[in-house]
Amino acid sequence: MSRKFDRAGEAGLQFYGKMTASMSHELKNVLAIIKENAGLLNDFTCMAEEGGMPVDLEKVKRVTEKIAKQTRRADGIVTRLNRFGHSIDESSKSVDLWDLLEFVVALSGRFASMRGVTLERKPPASRVTVTTVPFFLENLVWLCLDFAMGVAGTGKTVGLIVEETKNGARIKFTHLEDLAKVPPDTFPAQRAKVLLGALNSELAVDVEAQEIVLTLPESIGG
């Protein structure tokens, strides 16, 4: 079991690096916007002091609102980063599957946007929970999502559905128009296989239905 976890941990390091690099990139963008807007305020002040040009209060208000908006955006990114860091804290925990999926979607937002893919989510009728290793599951959901975005085809949409099953739960990644175009053994690749093993879960690739289905046990020990 521990060897299985070690290998899953190696996969996790790559996931951790990718996500933190993405969040830091996003933060840099936010800081650049804040800096330019603060610079604009400074420009207005200099124009008033040196050029005698009266300060346009409407412009000042618009710029300060932009700074406030970007500060909220940065706060959201840091909150995500903090939650992501803490997802390593517990080796086994009961998680709300929809909440976890939404979190991975938030982590993946920049990647989806870079690929021009929309992530369409349909919340379950009632709360679906599983007892699992949160960080490994986040990693596995990301690998599925990453693959799904790559085979979304011209529709450029990936549907995400969480459902309760008799023995646990499943996440469906749908609308995968180009699923038939990839060789059958492409996914799951080695890293996903290791995580599937560590989480006692299964993955089914349904080319006809254009979807992949990740099935999770109610409890990782079960």
Residues lying near other proteins in the complex (CB under 8 A) are found at 21, 24-25, 28-29, 31-33, 35-37, 39-40, 43, 47, 63, 66, 69-70, 113-116
Name which of 70 and 129 has its Cβ closer to other proteins. 70
| Residues facing 214 on adjacent strands | 171, 203
CB of 24 to other proteins, least distance (A): 8
Pick the closest to residue 9 from 133, 111, 118 (CA basis).
Answer: 133
Name which of 64 and 91 has its Cβ closer to other proteins. 64
Name which of 80 and 115 has its Cβ closer to other proteins. 115
CB of 64 to other proteins, least distance (A): 12
CB of 149 to other proteins, least distance (A): 12
CB of 17 to other proteins, least distance (A): 11
Name which of 55 and 180 has its Cβ closer to other proteins. 55
Task: Give CA angle at 112 (33, 114), nearest 5°.
Answer: 55
CB 45 within 8 A of CB 55: yes
Would you put residue 96 in left (φ > 0), alpha (ψ -120 to 50) or beta? beta
Pick the closest to residue 169 from 136, 214, 135 (CA basis).
Answer: 214
